[in-house]
Structure 1
Amino acid sequence: MAVDPTYPPLDTPKPVADGVWIVDSGPMKAGGLVSIPVRMMLFRDAAGELVLYSPTRWTPDLAAELDKLGRVSWLLAPSSVHWTFVKSWQDRYPNAAVLAAPGLDKRGQVQRSGLRIDGRLGESLPLEWGGLFEAVTVPGGLGFREVGLFHRPSRTLALCDLVHNFEPEKLPPLQRPLVRLAGGTAPNGRAMLQLRTLVSLNRLAARAAAERLVALAPERVLFAHGRVFEADGAARLRRSLSWLLG
């Protein structure tokens, strides 16, 4: 029997907290082997405009739904990996500012894509956001960066790949051993083995950043792949990052 790794309904905003939504999408292929879900996080800033964190695929219907929620003014490419869908959103919203993880603009693949990057997503955040957010950059080796975004009013933390929390029953049977071996299975999934190895190349700085993420004491933690931490976020995040925190 076929299984569905995604979290329907897809490509539609689903409210999580006041001023916070998720958009589930997928499936997509990871490494050309594993079929996985993917997710965008969506926030409203102090001006009432929309901040798209790690955009997923653009569709006309999704764009129309977002237009009803507010103006799409910010497109965030928050990691070395999660940027590939941003160009299609930029084509639809050319006046939206694109903020990217440090160093992303130097990558040849990004430059060849035609993606316009307007600024860096890091510790200094746009004044227009009204102090509603805090950002923490987690570094790794080979230029890897992932920027977590914390929404203070709802105590919601958004990440990309620092947490994977796949539910084995939603994956094809042949893929389940691979995911378990890599460590990203529910209920307290971790970053996949490849990413843990990459981050460990800059372990001291990454550990300090991980400690900052936990110290934010998020109530919920949202991320790109798998079932989110809907409650008890800080404790579950600490368990998930135990490989880095020690």
Structure 2
Amino acid sequence: MGDPKVGTETSTLGLPNRVERALDQLLASFDTKLKDELVAVLAHGSTVRGGYDEATSDVDLVVVLENDAIEVLERVANDIALARTSARIECMLLRKGEIPRAADVFPLLFEDLGAEGIALRGDNPFRGLRIEDDHRRLRIEQELRETRIRLRIAIADATAGLLRYEGLIGRKVRQIRSPLFALLQRSGHESKRDLKSVVAAAGKHLGVDTSQLLRFRESPKEAMKALVALLDAAIDHIDEPPGKAP
């Protein structure tokens, strides 16, 4: 097996020059130090979907390896750490052989990677990956319920002054973009993948006014009420009896 082909140029991602240089340096290190062990490098998330903010966003990469032996990981450990600390480049490391068998526990992530992942090296191994609908439904419900449960103590902490509502709401809305998008797809409703479009489409589909959610700095408590209502409606929608069609 030869070195993975160079895919999309990093310049097309529209990243700040400083971040683009750090990403190019990381990819060059992978090419030099991993060689045949490197299968693919994919960019995903806000970097490719839109909404990237240099001050708050990470550059999310999935690095697919043929072999994940400790000795292989040690070759690029310092390069990965430097990219993280200097440019907020975050790497998820996967072994090629585990991807098909892990699709049942990461169905939403793997579907997103197949649909929107941009291959900077190699080919996208998530394209055409089979995702069972039962696994998809369970993961949607799990992510929504986990967010709803954790939100209760977060509201208490915000009320006690330990957290700011504004930052809390922004994080939680970003967290539920993926399960809401999957819920919409599963229900036959089209939406773009960016956060604003998904929130608006989910609110319309579920009958929840989400207009406050993306303006949470103006009225944080009203935005929090809208977030709770959206989560509750989405959970009720996805928590269907066995055998019921979406």
For normalisation by structure 2, the TM-score amounts to 0.26
More strand by share: 1
Larger-gyration structure (1/2): 2
More helix by share: 2
For normalisation by structure 1, the TM-score amounts to 0.26
